[in-house]
Chain A
Amino acid sequence: MTRHPTVQMLIRLGTTVSSLAITMFGLVLVTFFIGRVIPIDPVLTILGDHARPELVERLRMELGLDKPLPVQFWIYLKNLLQGDLGRSVMTTNRVVDDIRLYFPATVELGTVAMIFATVAGIPLGVLSAVRRNSALDQAVRVFSLVGHSIPIPVLGLGSLLVFYAWLGWAPGTGRVGVGYVGLTPSVTGFLTVDALIAGDTEVFWDAAAHLMLPAGVLAYFSMAYISRMTRAFMIDALAGEYVITARAKGLSPARVIWRHAFGNIAVRLVTVLALTYAGLLEGAVVTEMIFSWPGIGQYLTVSLLNADMNAVIGATLLVGFVYMLLNLFADAAYRILDPRV
């Protein structure tokens, strides 16, 4: 049975959206119940251990904690759909506002890391596929094996030691030097962009310098993955008959490699890049803790340690949602860009 292409497209879209909705619901459900079974009483966190019992009781009712769990979940879900994630106990702000404050820092870090990883990883992968088993190929292999095996705390602390303490090339932790904090009005939330908008080049360069080390650390992991995948795809593509034909026609090696072979793996690479970007979000949690980067990972970890559950659920949902969207995008890119699928 063949259906009209538009109908097929709609069916596919419907399946995707509904599976996204189901997964998202699962995410909310799991995080909510994890958040509610936490043994630390949120009321006592707010009021302290010595609060009067009637006060504790009143707050418990105000927070809706006296209702049965399914009812609490229903209320949470309703609020969530209206964009309300509750209030953070720690910062006393609405979680949505907190996220708006912290998330851009993570996106800025992740995006710069992604640019580093792509710019370095793809050429390395292509070159090592072209010169298979050469010294360069071996070096790239070892390099990416180490990238695959090294824990972020080690790489982060090691690079701080070498580039900050010993060589003095990089500024210390944080997003910007202490003297520049809060000088730039926030427009986009990305400090480098905001500084440029404000025309403050001094802040821009300082913020950019602070970005290098954490972004570099994050980029290394993604680069290891990107270069390995690029290498594998390229080896596959270079063995294709169309590449042999292109060579036989007398095209220059550069044109054969970049236009014919690379052109054919570009679609698959988009998928890899989207998946990598999703992975960066996770790596950012540990990286932010090492570099005191005021992003969503730090917000999440500090909230966890303080049992600030609204903040934890909100941040987890956000990261989960972005992660899912990127995965979905990876899948969709593959389907839309590759005419064969």
Chain B
Amino acid sequence: MTARLFDRAWLLSDSPQSRTQAAWGRRYRLWRDFRANRPALIGFVTVMALLLCAIFAPLLATHDPVAQNLGQRLQPPSAAHWLGTDELGRDVYSRLLYGARITLGMVLAVVALVAPVGLAIGCIAGYYRGIADVVLMRVTDVFLAFPRLILALAFVAAIKPGMTSAVIAIALTTWPPYARLARAETLTIRDADYIAAVRMAGASPGRIILRHIMPLCLGSLIVRVTLDMSSIIIFAASLGFLGMGAQAPSPEWGTMIATARRFLLDQWWVPLIPGIAILVASLAFNMMGDGLRDALDPKQG
């Protein structure tokens, strides 16, 4: 089986012999389209590199990310400290690596909270129509009408500034577009003949939604999630910068900018290096997302 995955003729066969072959053939074509897109590939590789950095942070770090050394504060990049040191003499390079864990962790947590909820709400509203649709979409509209950052700020301040509340706040303001998207997709699917066929075969609404509608909404949802990841990164960093995200000794990138801000004029690299890390991460996700959208969904150009 594994050997076959490297057999191009098997993958690209016009008349696949099995479901598995068809599925893998489709995935291979997708990957081929995606790979041909230079920026998308760069984005993908960068995201993978970031993930590896986050996973292997303890191995790659040269110093303890929280160890202070006041004799060595605000050093420029050198052989001992590749990206210099911050205001408490902590190694910026090592902090960035651990910060990648926090940033990517927050992004994953938000997506894990938001995507299923948005998908479920959208599919239910779209499938049942009527009163469920009206109520659910009204709630969605209310949340869409909020200025996101401000709602999140108020929410975090009310609970307690910190990473968990930042994740919840971001999730709270991120789900409505997913619900809208899933609903729109569901509306186009629900009246299709094969759904009618499944229904006549006796499938319950729950089964139809879970097994026959949701899987078809996944494609556009994944694209949207990937494109959203960069805005989640920026969102988390902005909360951190305003003092409402991860709290101070934590090497969260936005928090690092905030604490090092006052050294901008003399030791500019201290606040700007974490900023560049945020920029790279968010660019990478955007480039990957654009590529995915082109490959999965050519009509949306």
Q: Is B201 an interface residue (CB 8 A)?
A: no
Return the contact of A37 from the options B158, B272, B275, B279 (Cβ within 8 A): B158
A contact residues around B138 at 8 Å (CB): 19, 22
Question: Do A289 and B283 touch (CB < 8 A)?
Answer: no
Within 8 A of A (CB), among B259-301: 261, 264-265, 268, 271-272, 275-276, 278-279, 282-283, 286-287, 301
Closest to B281 in A: A149
Decide if B241 touches A149 in the complex (CB within 8 Å): no
Which residues of chain A have C-beta atoms less than 8 A from B146's C-beta?
27, 30, 320, 323
Q: Tell me the smallest distance from the CB of B169 to a CB of chain A, in Å.
A: 10
A145 adjacent to chain B (CB < 8 Å): yes
Verify B153–A285 contact, CB threshold 8 A: yes
Residues of A within 8 A of B276 (CB): 154
Question: Shortest distance in angstroms between B274's beta carbon and chain A's nearest beta carbon?
Answer: 9
Partner-contacting stretch, out of A71-79, A107-115, A197-205, A298-306: A298-306
Contact between chains at A327 and B145 (CB < 8 Å): yes
Q: 23 A–B contact pairs at CB < 8 A?
A: A23-B145, A31-B154, A35-B158, A37-B159, A145-B286, A145-B287, A149-B286, A151-B233, A152-B238, A153-B238, A154-B275, A154-B276, A157-B257, A157-B275, A158-B272, A285-B150, A285-B153, A286-B242, A289-B241, A304-B244, A312-B154, A316-B151, A323-B147
Which B residues are in CB contact (< 8 Å) with A254?
Answer: none
- The answer on a CB contact under 8 Å between B154 and A304 is yes
CA distance A36 to B237 in the complex (A): 26
B150 touches A320 (CB 8 A): yes
Binding site for B on A (CB under 8 A): 19, 22-23, 26-27, 30-31, 34-35, 37-39, 145-146, 148-154, 157-158, 160-161, 165, 232, 278, 281-282, 285-286, 289, 300-301, 304-305, 307, 312-313, 316, 319-320, 323-324, 327
Please, how many angstroms separate the alpha-carbon atoms of A324 and B261 in the complex? 33
Known contacts A27-B146, A165-B265, A320-B147, A149 near B279 by CB under 8 Å: yes
A153-B241, A157-B271, A313-B154 are known; give 13 further A-B pairs, CB within 8 A.
A22-B138, A35-B154, A38-B158, A149-B279, A153-B258, A154-B257, A157-B272, A278-B147, A289-B242, A305-B157, A312-B154, A316-B150, A316-B151
State A150–B146 Cα separation when bound (angstroms). 23
Chain A residue at minimum C-beta to C-beta distance from B231:
A148
Q: Which of B147, B238, B268 has the most CB of A within 10 A?
A: B147
CB contacts (< 8 Å) of B257 on chain A: these are 153-154, 157
From B142, B242, B272, contact of A301 by CB (8 A): B242
CA distance A148 to B286 in the complex (A): 8
Pairs A-B, 9 closest by C-beta atoms:
A154-B275, A26-B142, A149-B282, A149-B283, A304-B157, A34-B158, A38-B158, A323-B147, A153-B241
The distance in angstroms between the C-alpha atoms of A320 and B150, with both chains bound, is 8
Q: How many Å lie between the Cα of A19 and that of B243 in the bound state?
A: 35
Given contacts A23-B141, A151-B238, A307-B157, is CB(A157)–CB(B150) below 8 Å? no
Q: Distance (Å) between the CB of B154 and the closest chain A CB?
A: 5
Say whether A149 contacts B230, CB under 8 Å.
Answer: yes
Q: Are A150 and B279 in contact (CB under 8 A)?
A: yes
User: A19 to chain B: which residues have CB within 8 Å?
Assistant: 138, 141
Shortest Cβ distance from A73 into chain B, in angstroms?
15
Residues on B with C-beta less than 8 A from A35 are 154, 158
Which residue of the partner chain A has the closest CB to B268? A161
| Assembled-state Cα–Cα distance A250/B243 (Å) | 61
Bound complex: CA of A19 vs CA of B141, how far in Å?
Answer: 9
Contact B230 A300, beta carbon cutoff 8 Å: no
What are the residues of chain B within 8 A of A148 when measuring CB–CB?
A: 230, 286
Q: Contacts of B157 on A, CB cut-off 8 Å?
A: 38, 304-305, 307, 312
Residues of B within 8 A of A23 (CB): 141-142, 145
Establish whether residues A146 and B283, one from each chain, have CB atoms under 8 Å apart when the complex forms. Answer: yes
Residue in A27, A30, A153, A307 whose beta carbon sits within 8 Å of that of B237 in the complex:
A153
A307 to B159 Cα, complex, angstroms: 11
